[in-house]
Amino acid sequence: MVLEQPRPAEDFPLGLRDLALPQPGEREIRVRVRACGVCHTDLHTVEGDLPLPRLPLVPGHQVVGVVDAVGGQVRRFREGDRVGVPWLYSTCGQCAYCRRGLENLCESARFTGYHVNGGYAEAVVVSEDFAYILPKAFQDTEAAPLLCAGIIGYRSLRLSSVQSGDRLGLYGFGASAHIVIQLARHQGCEVYVFTRAESHRRMARELGAAWVGGPDDQPPQQLDGAIVFAPAGSVALQALRVIRKGGTVALAGITMTPIPELDYGSLLYHERVLRSVANSTREDARDLLRLAGEIPIRVKIKTFGLEKANQALQALKQSKIDGAGVLVI
């Protein structure tokens, strides 16, 4: 499903096309795609909210499939292996960020379904260093959301600085948050969910939320940290209002509407922290996939055929997906 020019999801920006089968380089594998998660980043891509480095483009960066061809120098994978391909497609390994263990901030990073064609397709190629064996406990469609919703949720949870016994707020309750609540509860946190959709509130309760309310509601207790998944800048201020002194609000989105002017004394003073979460590292991916299998994470999905990718993005935009949307190839 190819994006020729960005347009609103309602205008069906993706078109079904026949493309040449990609060939793997010496250290690359080719993956026959079985499933690909549908992410808000895909929506921001097709609608032009992000500056696009190339067009035409095949979106999709939560790719699950089977290796069907390998380059001559590949050592980690064989034909027939089931693998996952996430957002982080490649890094330089040499810049100051890579050397400090912050490859998510690499100056030359490339991303799947953004710089290179992604998983809304029958096949993708990727370096063997940026693909992952998936936990056997998950079916293809269940594993797909782990590769971004899960990984970025895991990194956001770490950067929120909450510890066992702490109270964590989640603003928005879609694909990522429904995984994070399970990670946080496994860690020993109480989770407070702020969301408008009644179906999302019901799912939050089913997954063990200690309290559920709307974005503007006041929880019964101060929180130790919060993660904002909603792409609305005003929500960052709501989260700052409910965290204790020294607490952290992590912003998990790749884009966000402007954050309104905030009152320093009441919202930020007393060492409260407001920080963004940018991309993820290979270590994040390995850690999340290991944890997901151990807990194990319950992934709620709604599936669409590949040719229904536009409809899947529309449903995502309208908050009509409980859990995660997944394209089945």
Whole-structure pTM value? 0.96
The reported pLDDT for the residue numbered 7 is 98
Q: Is 228 helix (H, G, I), strand (E, B) or coil?
A: strand
Q: How many domains is the chain partitioned into structurally? A: 2
Same domain for 6 and 143, yes or no, is yes
- Mind listing the pLDDT tens digit for each residue in 170-199? 999 999 999 999 999 999 999 999 999 999
Query: SS3 string of 130-167?
Result: HCEECCCCCCHHHHHHHHCHHHHHHHHHHHCCCCCCCE
pLDDT of residue 249: 98
| 227 and 323 co-located in one domain | no
Token output for 105: 């901030």
257 and 288, same domain (yes or no):
no
Shared domain for 308 and 171, answered yes or no, is no
pLDDT of residue 128: 98
Same domain, residue pair 79 and 169: no
Please tell me the predicted confidence (pLDDT) of residue 196: 92
Residues 115 and 173 in one domain: no
171 and 269 together in one domain: yes
Q: Give the Cα separation of 266 and 262 in Å (integer).
A: 9
The enclosing domain of 112 has a CATH number of 3.90.180.10
Confidence at residue 103, expressed as pLDDT on a 0 to 100 scale: 98
Give the structural domain span for 188.
Answer: 151-276
Q: Is residue 72 domain-shared with residue 48, that is, in the same domain?
A: yes
Q: What is the pLDDT of residues 211-267, one digit of tens each?
A: 999 999 999 999 999 999 999 999 999 999 999 999 999 999 999 999 999 999 999
Per the listing, tokens 């309104």 go with 260
Which residues, given as ranges, of the chain have pLDDT below 70? Answer: none
29 forms beta bridges with 70, 126
pLDDT of residue 154: 98
How far is residue 51's CA from residue 214's CA, in Å, rounded to a whole number?
A: 32
Per-residue pLDDT at 143 = 98
CATH number of the domain encompassing residue 224: 3.40.50.720
Residue pair 320/171 in contact (Cβ under 8 Å)? The answer is: no
Domain match, 24 and 122 both: yes
Task: Write down the pLDDT at residue 302.
Answer: 98
190 and 106 in one domain? no
| Statement to judge: residues 157 and 264 lie in one domain | yes
